[in-house]
Structure 1
């Protein structure tokens, strides 16, 4: 059983050059539309309320936030970074700022080789949106052999079983999670750990 035993905020970066030195294990980058539940998911994964701060104002968070995460498996600790990327898809951001913001974020995603896993969050209530498809298409063009894209469907507690089944067909291989009842959180931590530390699962 893998679990997170420690977590802390490291730093915020406006662009790639301000990022901390990478860890050998690599990093997990979380991205998604505004109000998809990204901060809540990070807090659930870390089992620590308030680690990632959420804003009631879409588009307010413009920085790339790094969190140090320590996993434990069989008394051995493993360290990594969770990277909280600014949300996308809101209109209330000044055009010039939005352009600069998008440029810095794109530059980070393309050039930060330490990223091992991109976790793209999709709101269960608003699947298959054009902007999410655009993000997937962009990531497909830049993902390196050592990187992987994982879809995580959030807020599944808002759907009935029929709607959930339809969603699974639309996103094969996606993980379904709920921050409200913590469903899928342990499974997501397992997937993250196994991707970052595959040698620990060769038995």
Structure 2
């Protein structure tokens, strides 16, 4: 199964103005500058689909993308889901009131969106033990429903020494280890997503 089309659907400030929950959703979340937009562009093979920026906290809205997968089933050749690009946490240079609003809207989406099936928590492989990431992991575990899963995906592994990468893999045996630059781990991530959503 592979992604054959991906297109921007809409942006929303909160769950209140989000699109109808009629497709299974995969939420991508992580610290600002973890490489979230770059990963979405590489995963979907759509350059510029998700807007990346060198400015932390640039993504301020919940961005929805319609994703079309090609299957090997001739009777049902295509299946659909949505990828959701969430605002980064730990932003720099934003007002406290704006940060409060972002956090409130982000939490509302994560806790209340009925069609949300997968949390993809992106973690910078060079800094895997930051308190903010551990707090997010704990939060996701407390709100996760029985029909949801959490995937920890470690980004920028091309910047690690081989010994450090092997250590990280031992510490997180269920993790997925990604390099956008070298296209490593992307197929594994996609397979984990489609395997859960569609059972292939």
Q: TM-score range by the shorter chain?
A: over 0.9
Q: Distance in 1 between matches of 2:170 and 2:94?
A: 34
Q: Is the 8 A contact 1:23 1:81 kept in 2?
A: no
Q: Which runs of 4+ in 1 moved over 3 A?
A: none
Q: CA deviation digits over 1:120-161, x for unaligned, max 9?
A: 001111111000000001111100000000000111111121
Q: Is the 8 A contact 1:34 1:88 kept in 2?
A: yes
Could you tell me the TM-score, scaled by structure 2's length? 0.95
Q: CA RMSD in A?
A: 1.0
Q: How far off its partner does 1:109 sit?
A: 0.6
Q: Distance in 1 between matches of 2:71 and 2:192?
A: 13
How many residues are paired up?
A: 197
Name the structure 2 match of 1:83. 84
Are 2:188 and 1:187 equivalent residues in the alignment? yes
Name the structure 2 match of 1:39. 37
Name the structure 2 match of 1:153. 154
Q: Distance in 2 between matches of 1:102 and 1:135?
A: 12
Unpaired stretches in structure 2, ≥5 consecutive residues = none
Name the structure 1 match of 2:116. 115
Q: Is the 8 A contact 2:21 2:113 kept in 1?
A: no
Unpaired stretches in structure 1, ≥5 consecutive residues = none
Matched residue of 2:135: which SS? helix
Q: CA deviation digits over 1:91-141, x for unaligned, max 9?
A: 311011101110111111100021100000011111110000000011111
Q: CA deviation digits over 1:48-99, x for unaligned, max 9?
A: 1110001221112210000000111215111000000000112311011101
Q: Which stretch shows the higher mean deviation, 117-126 or 55-64? A: 55-64
Name the structure 2 match of 1:101. 102
